[in-house]
Structure 1
Amino acid sequence: MSDTLVLNLALEEGPSTRREHTKKGGRWTDRLKSKRIEKRKVRTQTKTNSADERPSKRPRQHTDRPSVTSHSLPQAHPKPRQSTQIISSLFSSNPKVEQKSTGSVPHAPSKPSNAPLTDSSSFTGLGLNTLIATHLTTKMNILKPTSIQCASLSTLLSQGASSRDAFIQAQTGSGKTLSYLLPILHDLLPLSTNSYIDRSIGTLAIIISPTRELAKQISDVLDVLLKLRLRPLDAAPDDEENNETRLTRWLVSGLLTGGATRAHEKARLRKGIPILVATPGRLLDHLQKTSSFGVSKCRWLVLDEADRLMELGFADTIKGILACLEGSRKLALQAVEGGQSTEVRGWDWSVRRRTILCSATMREDVQVLAGDALRNPIIIKTTEVDLPGPATDATKGAAADPKFTPPSQLLQKYIVVPLKLRLVALIALLRSLLSQSGGRGSFKIIVFLTCTDSVDFHWRLLGGTTLENDGNRESGSDQAAPGEDDSIEVHSPLLPDTSIFRLHGSLPPATRHSSLRAFSSSPKAPEVGRAASVLLCTSVAARGLDLPRVRAVVQYDLPTEGGATEYVHRVGRTARAGRGGQAWTIVAPSEEPWVEWVQARMASGTTEGGTAHSLEAVAVEQIMQAGFGGKGKEYEDRATEVQMAFERWCLQGKENVEMARKAFASHLRAYATHPSDEKHIFHIRHLHLGHLAKSFALREAPGTISGHGGKSQGAAGGKRQARRLRRRSGDKGGDDEGKGEGGLDVERRMNMAVRNQGRLVKKGGAMVSSGLWEFQVASGDALERLVNKT
């Protein structure tokens, strides 16, 4: 009896075996259903009891995606209940990189190829005006001309070649700006002896630049030149001979780059600007709409960086400017010959306008522009001056020698970096370069990125990240809060004693000029303030800018257009005028064939010092060790801490995440715009989107690659977007500001449609073509009818 009681108690403590929810009666289908439910419950309870008796499994070892330890997470934020993100390790699942060199072999010294001449050449000996030569040596500290300046002055100042145009082709950083400014000033300065010459004479020289930054730089150099002394230093005040030939200070310079009020620009043009520096669009606008803009006596026209002008699509604008200048001169000349001119007599109309075209390369579109703009040109090179006959022979002679190389004293190196490590490798490289200064004066570094969104993101990221786990929300709030686009400078604890600036085409003009001026200016002493400067920029800073004391150039993103030419222009921001410099390029493992590709397109052979134009490989581990320090593999832990600090900043707010996603999307769209001859190297199918997202401080690839935010669609959505980009990767479109594919084609088609409508006229009740060009001012019979009407 007792056994039976015990058995009953045991049964009550264990799983219940009584039949519950059983039906008595009813349809037979209900009874069968209740039996199946009862059997299912019994099987589930049996499996649970057997699982409790089974020993627990050991946790699986995740080698590719290890979990993050607690000390790397911020202590101020509680642990989420269920996190769907997997924080991958930086140093796992990376492609194996075969190291070709460790970078320990020192670079052989080379003789500078763009330094001033060391022979007996001088500005005075080349025939330059004594007042200008004295100003160069005493006020600007320029004692000797460079090779391109020597060739340009000896040709442009000679009387025999006064009626011929010129094509100047020179190496970057060789002083090309002075090679055309000095002849212009030499020609216009003696006009001061005429009594009727003053600012009201109009514009006598026009210099066209592709970008606002380059135009501002040319204008600054011109302003310094125009401050020259107008009397010899040894002239006495009572010297009658010198008083009779005393020059008047009527030569002033002006700048037209847009961004300013047109009314203010028109008022300055009405007063008269003898030497004008302008961008193409703004210049054509005033030529067509400002009646007080007098260019009929223009004697000099300079097209600086002609290859960049063609790349930016200014071909039709340049044609319009040339047509306006020719039409204005013809109208004024016919008015003078007909006795209808109200101008002061005495101007020598027999002197024709000289056009100078400056370009580092002689591509096909530049040759077409040279054929349209130049007449019987002289080709001026660094080492020789060719004097061909017709213009076609000149362009063929330049095209036969397409070599375009960086300065020979420039140290060129590259690093093959896995996509995961791009961001921390950039920080390590900047830290190692800044450590080379040793507190001795200023140290400036330029970092080139692909698109404007990437520049803004990295600028905000460096300015807002700290290494502390707590207090991140307050870091950087006083220097660069999201949305404050008027800020020009941020500082980062990762780069101590360093000011960080940004520059791209979407910034307001005032911010662009302020950033460039602050970066170019001499920094404060180390004990007072910042001793180094870093400029994050797009390709807008790759052409023509002469930024002083730039010690290194880092190409974080390879150029999407221009190929080897754009690479040489970028690295040419350092090692200028005979000084030394370093050029570093960060290359992904799939992009390593680009190194041999770009070397083959640069001039092969060696320089006088015996150094070939080649890029030297440096291991990423060596850069990490130099940038983060530590013993052995300790740099991996420090790099992980830096990466986690970036990711914590990205997770602080919705604005930071959206900025990172937008930069990631813009980078992918820009990557898809590489030309077809580079698709075997740069293709989206070669990129691991998850690893690439890690370099933008994201823990997973965004599902939508639109750059406008929105909810993530997961990995499947990201793959679909990647496939779309791959299909579009063969199309041409987009620009360095991150526009989508095909956008420029749509705008171009719309512009052509509008232009075609503007060419139509009504004849006989129907709209027919007028046969006139949209930029045509006056020619032939139309010009004569216009003159007769006036």
Structure 2
Amino acid sequence: MGSRNPKRKPLSRKEKREQEFNEIDNLEAKCEELSLKDREFVNFYELPLSSKTLKGLNSVHYLEMTEIQRKALPVALNGRDVLGAAKTGSGKTLAFLIPLIELLYRKKWTQFDGLGALVIAPTRELAVQIFEVLRAIGRQHSLSAGLVIGGKNVNIEQERISRMNILICTPGRLLQHMDQTVGFDCSNLQMLVLDEADRILDLGFEKTVNAIIENLPKQRQTLLFSATQTKSVKDLARLSLKNPAYVAVHEKSEYSTPQRLAQHYIICPLPQKLDYLFSFIKSHLKSKVLVFLSSCKQVRFVFETFCKMHPGVPLLHLHGKQKQTKRVEIFNKFSNMKCAYLFATDIAARGLDFPAVDWVIQVDAPEDAETYIHRVGRTARYEASGQGLLLLLPSEEEAMIDALKAKKVPIEKINVKSSKIISIQNQLQSLCFRDPEIKYLGQKAFKSYMRSVYLQKNKLIFKVDELPAEKYAESLGLPGTPKIKFIKKSETKNAIRQRPKQVSESERTTDEEDKHYQKLIDHEGDKIAIDSEDGDLLSLKRIDHELPDELEQKTSEPTSKRKLLKATSKKLWAKDSKKGQKLIYDDEGNPHQVYELQDEREFLAAGAPVVQKQAFVEKELTAMKNQDAIDKRIAKEKRRQKKLKYKAKLKAEMEAQELGPKTVLISPQSEDDEYQESQEEAVQLDKLDDIKSYGNKRNIESLQSDKATSDQEEYDGKQVRKDNKRAKILEVEEPETLEDHEKLALQLLNGF
């Protein structure tokens, strides 16, 4: 028997490190030479990639490069900024993930170096998909990667985000961590990647992206990829791109969509859209179809109603109002199903890779040609085939087809047999009648569609005035057309609504008061006449206030029950953010805020802050002293008036006693209590004045001692007992006989 080959000894840690360093040096040299070569690369192993990256690509069976990868990877590996534009499903994700991993590997990046690469995606689903691809091809590397998107626990992300080398994120959540997470540092960033860059750089994310860019270093490599790439100088300038290489695949090609994608459109009246869609579902029960609608409420209404009608195929729905866990669950479920229909908004239009989608149906027209390309790109990905169907209204056909042809989109018109169309209007009416929730969803779907058409920028395509609103509401099963505030109503309807209601003969009253009231008020014209015996004595003319058209239109509409309830409910009013503001008025009657902020320039122009402060304090002290003097004079005058009043009363009583019969005042408290009360008030006021003027402790103690008086006082030569209770006075004639004394005693006993 022959001798066996001895087993290789495993490499030591030192040998592995030396081998890795040698590989990195070779890769650096080869990447610098890439710009000097004009050859076309076909396979991944022909590029200067690390062995770990090649093993990861082989594990997921990525061997041959696509066209965008052949053009973008050499430039990105060389360290240049890249603007990549390629058809949907052409492999753009690998075109930026491979340079990202290789850059950090060549720089020997570790967890102690912090954040090295950042990938920003417009939607959560696309970010999840990129993260899964990164995990697949980078499993051999020792780099740490994290997924930061909305809908997840922020506290858990804050604990781990500072240890991540690569972040896949959405703009909003990334900015939140930049503002709130302690220890999150982007100052050492090496590469920034924007997937679907045209969507991220548009007006919807402008403020967020600008705030993110301010926190990133300018010395970095930037890669931008999209199916419809932006060339705006303004966008490229704020990203600090340096001599970017524009890599476009479909610029020289005949069409901007995949060749294996068959695209068609049909002309469909608005009230029959759901009939066309339901008929398509019944005739394609073994297909995997993605259906696009313009709003979340439309998606939910169509999903709920079609599920109750049992078309015979699984139905799913995906929109932005769902929770993140639910969205991921629906995304995975639809990806694994062979036959299903997914109703979705434009949240599923960009970058998502649903395998084996047969049809893409656009029930509502896209906002522009770029959105159409992204929507229809969910099918015919890579080398697969697919079909697209677009439903257009008669008013949308001409402008939309011209826009698509300008973007090199080949689309053909097809006709539909009217005999094959299934009408579902009666079924929808029955559902709305039996289920109030379906009716409510239908009303919301109607309003959201009309609003989406009204808010579109391209008014050549979207003409809200030409939409048959009443028939569309009937097609949804609604008993009436919901009111739409933002659409101007015809002048005839406004005239009918504003015309005063005519009272029939049976409703008129013959009461004299009503006749008199009718004489007082003249409803003709803009005058109110008040009749009298001499004719028109007074004539009050109404002021005709001119209101804006929008405000006048709102005031003409009847108030809804919900608004009336909100106006009368304190709880609903308290929750309303638009509450009244407190205002103060100056001497001229002009309103001002309670606290008004002064402009900084005006404040500094008035003088130094210390001088202004001293002047303000002196002014207020002077005002306080003047007010104190006025208060003292008023208090002194009040005390004097009380004394004069008491003296006049006492004098009147003394004169009455001298003129009238002799009387004896018997009371626990004499009449001079009023004088005592006035005296006590005077003492208190004098006490306050003395405290303000002197502030002496001895003076305060002496004033407190003056307050204590004796419990008994003499009045008319007799002792009168004081009590805290109200005084009782009994006036009697002077007793002369024994019977008079007994009678007086009984009166005293009964009184006390």
1:501 Cα offset (Å): 1.4
Q: Please tell me whether residue 509 in structure 1 is matched to residue 430 in structure 2.
A: no
Distance 2:269 2:171 in 1: 42
Kept after mapping to 1: 8 A contact 2:197/2:229:
no
Amino acid of the structure 2 residue aligned with 1:259: G
2:585: which partner in 1? Answer: none
Distance 1:765 1:656, change over 3 A: same
Which residue of the partner structure matches residue 84 of structure 2? Answer: 168
Residue type at the aligned position of 1:211:
T
**2:134 is matched with which residue: 222, 244, 253?**
222
Cα–Cα, structure 1 residues 273 and 672, in superposed 2: closer, same or farther, change >3 Å?
Answer: same
Q: How does 1:347-746 map to 2 (within 5 A)?
A: 352-363=219-230, 366-383=232-249, 405-434=256-285, 437=286, 443-465=287-309, 493-494=310-311, 496=312, 498-520=313-335, 522-523=336-337, 531-559=338-366, 561=367, 563-603=368-408, 613-621=409-417, 633=419, 635=420, 639-640=422-423, 642-675=424-457, 678-698=458-478, 700-705=479-484
Q: Which residue of 2 aligns with 1:232?
A: none
8 Å contact from structure 1 (residues 554, 585) kept in 2: yes
Give the aligned partner of residue 44 of structure 2: 123
Determine the C-alpha separation between the residues in 2 that align with 1:512 and 1:141. 28
Deviation at 1:176, TM superposition (A): 0.6
Q: Deviations over 1:316-338 (max 9, x none)?
A: 32222222122xx9xxxxxxxxx
Letter in 1 for 2:455: T
| C-alpha separation in 2, matches of 1:537 and 1:444 | 14
One-letter code of the match for 1:144?
Answer: E
Higher share in helix:
2
When residues 454 and 718 of structure 1 are mapped into structure 2, their CA distance, relative to the original with a 3 A threshold, is farther
CA change 1:362–1:191 in 2 (3 A) is closer
- 1: CA distance between counterparts of 2:453 and 2:605? 45
Deviation at 1:263, TM superposition (A): 1.7
Match in the other structure for 1:325 = 216
Equivalent position SS for 1:316: helix
Question: Per the alignment, do residues 703 and 360 of structure 1 end up closer, same or farther by CA in structure 2, a change over 3 Å counting?
Answer: closer
Question: Sequence identity of aligned pairs in percent?
Answer: 32
- Sort the Cα spacing of 1:764 and 1:686 in 2 relative to 1 into closer, same or farther, 3 A: closer
Task: Report if aligned partners of 1:226, 1:252 keep a CA contact under 8 Å in 2.
Answer: no
Equivalent positions of 1:127-138 (< 5 A) are 127-137=48-58
Match of 1:144 in 2: 64
- Contact 1:703 1:717 (C-alpha < 8 Å) held by counterparts: no
Decide whether the 8 Å contact of 2:187 with 2:215 is kept in 1: no
Could you tell me how far 1:595 is from its partner in structure 2?
Answer: 4.7
Moved over 6 A (4+): 401-404, 717-720
Query: Which residue pairs with 1:306 in the alignment?
Result: 197
Question: Structure 1 763/269 Cα, relative in aligned 2: closer, same or farther at 3 Å?
Answer: farther
Separation (CA, whole Å) in 2 of partners of 1:761 and 1:282: 35
Instruction: Name the CA distance, whole Å, in 2 between partners of 1:201 and 1:120.
Output: 33
Aligned-pair CA distance for 1:455: 0.6
Secondary structure of the corresponding residue to residue 254 of structure 1:
strand
Cα RMSD between the aligned structures? 3.4
Q: 2: distance between equivalents of 1:414 and 1:555?
A: 9
Preserved CA contact (<8 Å) 2:198 2:226:
yes
Partners of 1:718 and 1:574 lie apart in 2 by 52
Q: Distance between the aligned counterparts of 2:76 and 2:496, measured in 1?
A: 59
Distance 2:107 2:496 in 1: 68
**CA positional deviation for 1:424:** 1.4
Shift of 1:143: 2.2
Aligned to 1:241: none
Q: Secondary structure at the match of 1:145?
A: coil
Alignment gaps of 5+ in structure 1: 1-118, 229-248, 330-351, 385-397, 438-442, 466-492, 524-530, 604-612, 625-632, 708-714, 729-745, 748-758, 769-790
Tell me the distance in 2 between the aligned counterparts of 1:545 and 1:186: 25
Aligned partner (choices 145, 150, 155) of residue 258 of structure 1: 150
* Secondary structure of residue in 2 paired with 1:651: helix
Contact 2:85-2:249 within 8 A present in 1 as well: no
Aligned-pair CA distance for 1:205: 0.4
**Which aligned pairs between 1:15-26 and structure 2 lie closer than 5 A?**
none
Shift of 1:300: 0.8
Tell whether the 8 Å contact from 2:399 to 2:460 is kept in structure 1 after alignment: no
Alpha-carbon shift at residue 764 of structure 1 (Å): 8.5
Letter of the 1:422 counterpart? K
Structure 2 residues without counterparts, runs of 5 or longer:
1-39, 487-491, 498-548, 555-576, 579-596, 607-752
The one-letter code sitting in structure 1 at the alignment partner of 2:221 is R
Task: Please state whether the residue corresponding to 1:557 is helix, strand or coil.
Answer: coil
Q: For residues 425-445 of structure 1, give each alpha carbon's deviation from its aligned partner in whole angstroms, at most 9, with x where no partner exists.
A: 1011223333xx4xxxxx421
Structure 1 length as normaliser, TM-score? 0.55
SS of structure 1 residue aligned to 2:413: strand
How far residue 724 of structure 1 moved from its aligned partner, in angstroms, is: 8.1
Cα deviation per residue 1:695-717 (whole Å; 9 max; x = unaligned)? Answer: 3233x54142369xxxxxxx959
Deviations 1:60-80 (A, max 9, x none): xxxxxxxxxxxxxxxxxxxxx
What secondary structure is seen at the aligned counterpart in 1 of 2:216?
A: helix
Distance 1:705 1:717, change over 3 A: farther
Q: Which amino acid aligns with 1:252?
A: S
